[in-house]
Chains A and B, each alone.
Chain A
Amino acid sequence: MVERKVKGRYLVAFLLTASIFVLGIFLGMIMSDYKTTKIYNSERDLMSTFLVHNLQTDLLITDPCGLSNNSLVSQEIFKVGDRLSALENDLGKKDPQVISLKKYYTLLEIKDYLYYKNLNEKCKTNFVLNLFFYSNDPKKCEKCEDQGFVLSYVRLKNQNIRTYSFDVDLGVSILDYLVKHYNITELPSVVFNEKTHKGFLDRADVEEMLNEH
């Protein structure tokens, strides 16, 4: 008979595998921190840009209508939004860092919205401004993800459209004011050039509204 022993590499293999996993988790955490900082900095940069622009306008250094075709923030704000969405997928929708960045981003969006609204009014520009109200809670809103996807697609096809997405659960007081102001009682809701549309709008609905515009 062969004398048999249980060899001791089970523990070594476990420790090596666990080390690889710990290293992976550690790398993931470092990169998440880095991404968060990057978005945080981008948001602050955007806010500074807004501030400078406001000051320049107030001091009559810059003609606001002169900037209409060469917007200060152009699509940059939406790029920050895309990074934020990716971070939200990565860390989760309830992550405190994500929520904090989203709150600040909401303020930026409102600021950007007011800026372009002002441009449309004063400089006779033709930007299509959408406010998209949603909730990440599927119990509150089943169709919100679908609506977000359709609006993103339409925005990609037409650079003149500026869609601002607002998570109504964030608890931002100015946002709560907008919710009341536009009578958002149902989710998803889209405010299309100041007119509130409740419920899901498919691609054809959105494109029809654009054509009317």
Chain B
Amino acid sequence: MITTIAIIIWAIYFVFMYFVIFWLLTFIEVEPEIKKNIMEYPDVTIAIPAYNEEKTIAKTILNDGSNDNTAEIVKEQIKIYKESNIILINQKNGGKGKALNAALKKAKGKYFVSLDADSFVRKDALKVILPYFIDENIAAVLPLLKIKKPNNLLEKIQWAEYMVNLFYKRLMAILDCIQVTPGPFSVYKKSILQKIGGYAEDNLTEDMELTLRLQKYHYKIIQVNDTEVYTVPPKTIKAFFKQRNRWYKGTLINAYKYKNMAFKKEYGDFGIIQMPRLLVEGFLAVSAFFIVSYTTIIRPLYYKLHNYSLINFDIIPLMSKWFSNFSLLDLDYMNLFLSFAMTLIVFVLIYYAHKQTKEKFSLNSLIGIPLYILFYSILASLALLSVYLDLIIRKKQKW
């Protein structure tokens, strides 16, 4: 029966399927990567803004007003690695953007790298990344950002999310549509970074703001898939929501800041597809999530429970009837076909995501992917909802 709700749900499925097919079509254009060898070893500055990172800083240095032992640990590291040219810049806590700008001012060499204190890089990362700066317009080259060993279920969901996102970023790079050069080990051409004014200070997602500015000035961003940087994901639901609230809020605020780029042909695919998507995606995702979950889960569940309450929850006769009276004729073949098509497309996507990010099918895939498919939209939608609530009540948030 075609009802308004059915049409809305089909429209949501249509939009979702459209984007996945669009990604896969873009994927056809991915050119095989040609391994580039490093020809010169230019000077590179790696800035590690750190605020209370005493647990991780020794492993991975800018001290952003920490009130723990971060500075002392860095000083020890400087003594240990005398030849490594490590400089500690102390400043009053003023946010990541301010810290990075302080580092950018003192940076030497042609390239500037930001690295989060809780991220770990492969030894050969710079050797792999630097040869990609083949022309003057390339402003940034990004490694694959992965989660190393996801332990708990939440980390496994994020592992799958990062993998799918990486595949998506590879595709977006083809379209010149990268929307964020993440904090962990994005390598920038220092001169471009300085030319466009460095990092935005007092911005929740300074990395995204910087990327949108790079896109605004028509610079190119490359996503490579032959070196990785590993990050530590939030381990608890509370930490996850805190991180996502900042990310999603930052996305919305920055998308709004650069809203004039939307639908402008001069920005190519970035203007036509990426900016409008950034502007409305959050709202549409939350609305779609609540409509779909209300109509396909909550309402039917309510009716089922209501019906079962009428018979004092004696459901055994109903179950035996269901088994004995089951008929293929009772199935809704249209929805069954569309669900099958959607599942198939998602599996193709996940297969190529593994391939592109050089991940093997593992226990993480077996556990992480089903959990990601089942629960990620719930977690992300709740985080998005909290962002809209914060924006409605105008809650102030620090980095």
Contacts and interface: CB of A to CB of B under 8 A. Distances in A.
Chains A and B are bound partners = yes
Contacts of A4: 176, 218, 266-270
A86 B331 CA distance: 8
B21 A17 contact: yes
A2 interface: yes
B14 A13 contact: no
A139 interface: no
B272 A6 contact: yes
B91 interface: no
A59 to B, nearest CB: 35
A31 B217 CA distance: 54
Interface string B117-145: 00000000000000000000100000000
Given A4-B266, A4-B268, A28-B333, A21 B338 contact: yes
B333 A150 contact: no
Residue among B19, B22, B270, B335 with the most chain A CB within 10 A? B22
Contact of A82 (B21, B176, B325): B325
Interface stretch (A88-96, A116-124, A168-176, A178-186): A88-96
Contacts of A210: none
Given A27-B337, A146-B310, A203-B312, A10 B273 contact: yes
Contacts of A30: 333
Given A17-B18, A92-B1, A23 B337 contact: yes
A57 B217 CA distance: 92
Contacts of B217: 1
A17 to B, nearest CB: 4
A83 B176 contact: no
A213 interface: no
Given A89-B1, A92-B2, A20 B307 contact: no
A154 to B, nearest CB: 8
Contacts of B329: 34-35, 38, 83, 86
Interface string A41-83: 0000000000000000000000000000000000000010011
B220 A203 contact: no
B40 interface: no
A183 B99 CA distance: 85
A24 B331 CA distance: 13
B14 A17 contact: yes
Interface residues of B, number: 48
Contact of B17 (A17, A23, A203): A17
A195 to B, nearest CB: 22
A83 B218 contact: no
Given A2-B220, A6-B265, A20 B311 contact: no
A9 B265 CA distance: 15
Contact of B333 (A2, A21, A27): A27
A151 to B, nearest CB: 10
Interface in B207-266: 217-220, 265-266
Nearest to A15: B21
A149 B25 CA distance: 49
A162 to B, nearest CB: 15
Contact of A150 (B22, B311, B320): B311
Nearest to B311: A153
Given A2-B176, A9-B22, A149-B307, A83 B341 contact: no
Given A17-B18, A153-B311, A202-B310, A90 B1 contact: yes
Contacts of A153: 310-311, 314, 317-318
A25 interface: yes
Contacts of A91: 1
B317 A24 contact: no
A202 B219 CA distance: 71
Nearest to B334: A28
Contacts of A157: 317
A54 B312 CA distance: 42
Given A1-B217, A2-B220, A150 B310 contact: yes
Given A1-B137, A9-B22, A10-B272, 9 more contacts: A4-B267, A4-B268, A4-B270, A9-B26, A21-B17, A27-B334, A86-B330, A92-B2, A149-B311
Interface of A: 1-2, 4-7, 9-10, 12-14, 16-17, 20-21, 23-25, 27-32, 34-35, 38, 79, 82-83, 86, 89-93, 95, 146, 149-150, 153, 156-157, 202-203
Interface of B: 1-2, 10, 14, 17-19, 21-22, 25-26, 137, 175-176, 217-220, 265-270, 272-273, 306-307, 310-312, 314, 317-318, 320-321, 325, 327, 329-335, 337-338, 341
14 contacts: A1-B137, A1-B217, A1-B219, A2-B219, A6-B268, A9-B25, A21-B10, A24-B334, A28-B334, A31-B333, A86-B327, A146-B310, A202-B310, A203-B312
Q: Which 7 A-B pairs have the closest CB atoms?
A: A28-B334, A4-B268, A92-B1, A86-B330, A31-B333, A13-B22, A1-B218
